[in-house]
């Protein structure tokens, strides 16, 4: 079954304590990305990766890091989380094709992060 998995699904942490949210896909997709979803705002892209070892900033990259050492994994790292990073996070993957590649974009189930 084609899927994107994320862990953990829920996380409550304190300001400044480094954390990593893992993301894995089993579809051999080149393109992976991280989004955050906040009330009253649409999904906003944090970082994306067009292939192994190729990553780039999205619209809201401040306070986040990513890595893409393997094609299937794309972890999101918060080195020093702050309360304004409390959000619902989604990982997604799709074929690299522009435009209509979006119809084959799969999203993970989401990670609810609370930073106190």
Binding footprint of another protein on the chain (CB under 8 A) = 4, 37, 39-45, 88, 90, 92, 98-100, 102-110, 112
Residue number with CB closer to another protein (77 or 106): 106
Query: Shortest distance, CB of residue 76 to another protein, whole angstroms?
Result: 14
What are all long-range contacts of 37-42, with beta carbons under 8 Å and residues at least 24 apart? Answer: 37/87, 37/88, 37/89, 37/90, 37/110, 38/87, 38/88
Query: Shortest distance, CB of residue 61 to another protein, whole angstroms?
Result: 15
- Whether cis (ω within 30° of 0) applies to the bond prior to 8 is yes
Work out the widest C-alpha separation in the chain, in whole angstroms: 40
Query: Shortest distance, CB of residue 93 to another protein, whole angstroms?
Result: 11
Residue number with CB closer to another protein (42 or 69): 42
Token code pair at residue 8: 């953990």
Residue number with CB closer to another protein (4 or 21): 4
């Amino acid at each position: 079954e084609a899927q994107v998995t994320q862990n953990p699904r829920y996380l409550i942490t304190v300001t400044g304590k480094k954390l990593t949210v893992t993301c894995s896909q089993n579809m051999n997709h080149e393109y992976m990305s991280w989004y955050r979803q906040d009330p009253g705002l649409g999904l906003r892209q944090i970082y994306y990766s067009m292939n192994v070892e190729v990553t780039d900033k999205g619209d809201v990259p401040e306070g986040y890091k990513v890595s893409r050492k393997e094609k299937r994994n794309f972890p999101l790292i918060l080195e020093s989380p702050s309360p304004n990073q409390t959000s619902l996070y989604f990982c997604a993957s799709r074929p690299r094709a522009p435009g209509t590649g979006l119809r084959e974009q799969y999203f993970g189930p989401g990670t609810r992060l609370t930073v106190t």
